Each structure stands twice: as C-alpha cells, then as structure tokens.
C-alpha cells in the first residue's frame, strides 16, 4: 500500500509502497518501513524521500548565447618519416599524400555560481540536455562542432571540439540554458512537515523541500520542457556519427549505421 510516513527522530519523511504489513507503522525498524529506512535498496518502491537529492535550483535558469568561432580549411601533405609536412606534391623522392582539415578546441564560461563546491548542473541545447559530445553544428564532408558541459567549484563551462576539411567550418551562434542545482539543507528550527502560515510555505524534511524554491520535476503545467535521455546518444560508423537525443536525430553525411537512440523523459521547473 502506498503511504506517506515520517519519523521525526530520524529526520526523514517519504512516500513509498509498503512491501508487507509486518510490524507497527510507528516502528522505524519494522519490515513494512524498510523503504523509508533503506531507500537505496528499495528504489522501485520509493516515490519520494527527503534523503534523496532534491534538484533544487541554486539560481534561476540562465540562458547564454555563445558565438562559436569559424575554423579555416587546410590541406597538409605527408611523406616518409624524415619528410613530414611536405608542402608540394611534386617532391621527387617520396609519394606524399594529402590530409585535409584541422581540429581545434576551446572552453567557454557559461555561468559563474561561486557555490564553493562542484554542483550537479545540466546544460540544455534546443530543449535537450547535453550529453558528453553533442554535435551542435554539422556541415558537409565532416565539418562538425561537438560540445560537452562541465562544472567546477566556481562556474559552468562548455568544451567544444571542432573540425574543418580543406574548406572552412563556419562560425555559429548557439543558445544554451544552464540549470545549476544546490545541495538542499536541513534547518532544525523547521518542521519535518508543516505550513508556515505567515508566508503560506509548505515545508518537508525541515526545509529540504520548500514551496518557495524551484525544483526539477517531470513536466507540469506551464513548464518549459527539457529532454533527458536514458541511454547512449551517439553512434559512430564509417567515421561519421549519428546523434539521437530527445527523439531528435542528427546524422553526419556518410554515416552507415542504424542507431535509433535511447528513450527519454521530459522535465521542467
């Protein structure tokens, strides 16, 4: 049976499905209360628990536009080990070959948070959370720009790897939404569950949940949805990639596989 139950001395409250009716509902150690006592071992039975990470926003969602630089085209000629970087195809004593293109990388600051610890953070692009290495720009013949997000104790960044061929990769402007989550804190002066009548705030877990704050949740009414993928999003075949995220497919020309992508869910704030 699904129940809402709390134990003030243990500072926990949860919504969970009782595995049995063994023992008293007031006994924290009773078998029926195992999901609230050991939530990590009863994930399928726990719908909410104050010891879980609550995905509380540390600040409002930040929208950041990034001007990604162009990368010039290039062709290099290679020969035997003692004749690297040959600049002419007419070199008499070797058979050089052309290597088109070049690669570059860059890190860009998105948001400074100064939380003093590395927070959980998500960066969305076109309504989809960035997984490691997402192509935000795909042009012909392998000209691409892949982006990943990362966090430090002070800020959120994106790292880009981009490639040209014998022709240039153009510049592009892309918009990113940054969601930074803080570690929820207990306040011993607040109730395990209650309402502050002066402010009309609903409180759970001695302040770990408070209706004045914003939390990530499954998409509700009025939310701007973001897609979170449940599995790998990139496949490489024939030297080209296919990326499937949030049900949207991006395929480089020359890709020869059949990757269909993972399932996903929509979340909002």
Write the DSSP assignment of 94-157 as a string of letters: S--EEEE--EEEEEEEEEE---SS--EEEEEETTEEPPSSEEEEE-GGG-EEEEEEEE-SSEEE
Of 51-60, 76-85, 114-123, 193-202, which gets the smallest average pLDDT?
76-85
Range from 85-99, 127-141, 203-217, 233-247 carrying the lowest mean pLDDT = 85-99
Are 219 and 264 in contact by the 8 Å Cβ rule? The answer is no
Mean pLDDT of 119-140: 93
What's the average model confidence in pLDDT over 97-117? 93
Q: Does residue 171 have a pLDDT over 90?
A: yes
Average pLDDT over residues 109-114: 98
Q: What is the pLDDT of residue 87?
A: 55
The C-alpha R_g of the chain, in whole angstroms, comes to: 26
User: What average pLDDT does this structure show over 223-237?
Assistant: 90
Q: Can you give the pLDDT at residue 77?
A: 73
- pLDDT score of 2 more than 90: yes
Confidence of residue 76 (pLDDT cuts 50, 70, 90): confident
Separation between Cα atoms, residue 139 and residue 165, nearest integer Å: 10
For residues 269 and 260, give the distance between their C-alpha atoms in angstroms, rounded to a whole number. Answer: 28
How far, in Å, are 55, 182, 200 from residue 160 at the CA level?
A: 26, 26, 45
Identify the pLDDT of residue 81.
Answer: 47
Average pLDDT, the chain: 91
Residue 88 has pLDDT above 60, yes or no: no
pLDDT attached to residue 96: 63
Rounded CA-CA distance 109/131 in Å is: 18
> 82 pLDDT exceeds 60?
no
In sequence order, what are the residues at sequence separation of 6 or more whose Cβ sits closer than 8 angstroms to the Cβ of residue 14? Answer: 4, 5, 6, 35, 36, 39, 46, 47, 48, 49, 50
Question: What is d(CA 180, CA 177) in angstroms, rounded to the nearest whole number?
Answer: 10
Is residue 85 very low, low, confident or very high in pLDDT (cuts 50, 70, 90)? very low
Query: Mean of the pLDDT values across residues 71-95?
Result: 63
- What SS3 class is residue 19? coil
Mean pLDDT for the stretch of residues 35-47 = 97
Its pTM stands at 0.85
Among candidate residues 185, 266, 256, the one with its CA nearest the CA of residue 219: 266
Question: Which of the pair, 1 or 178, is modelled with greater confidence?
Answer: 178
Q: How confident is the model at residue 95 (pLDDT cuts 50, 70, 90)?
A: low
């Amino acid at each position: 049976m699904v129940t809402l139950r709390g134990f003030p001395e243990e500072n926990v409250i949860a919504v969970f499905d009782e595995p049995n009716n063994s023992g008293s509902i007031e006994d924290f150690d009773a078998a029926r209360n195992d999901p609230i006592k050991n939530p990590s071992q009863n994930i399928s039975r726990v719908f909410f628990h104050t010891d879980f990470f609550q995905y509380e926003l540390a600040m409002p969602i930040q929208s950041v536009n990034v001007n990604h630089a162009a990368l010039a085209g290039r062709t290099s000629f290679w020969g035997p080990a003692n004749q690297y970087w040959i600049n002419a195809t007419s070199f008499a004593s070797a058979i050089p070959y052309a290597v088109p293109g070049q690669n570059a990388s860059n890190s860009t600051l998105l948001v400074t948070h100064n939380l003093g610890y590395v927070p959980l953070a998500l960066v969305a692009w076109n309504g989809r959370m960035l997984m490691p290495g997402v192509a935000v720009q795909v042009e012909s013949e392998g000209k691409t720009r892949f982006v990943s997000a990362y966090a430090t104790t002070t800020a959120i960044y994106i790292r880009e790897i981009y490639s040209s061929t014998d022709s240039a990769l153009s510049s592009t402007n892309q918009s990113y939404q940054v969601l930074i989550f803080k570690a929820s804190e207990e306040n011993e002066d607040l109730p395990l569950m209650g309402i502050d009548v002066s402010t009309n705030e609903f409180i759970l877990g001695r302040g770990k949940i408070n209706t004045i704050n914003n939390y990530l949740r499954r998409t509700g009414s009025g939310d701007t949805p973001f897609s979170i993928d449940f599995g790998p999003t990139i496949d490489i075949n024939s030297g080209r990639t296919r990326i499937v995220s949030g049900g949207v497919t991006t395929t480089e020309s020359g890709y020869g596989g059949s990757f269909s992508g993972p399932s996903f869910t929509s979340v909002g704030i």
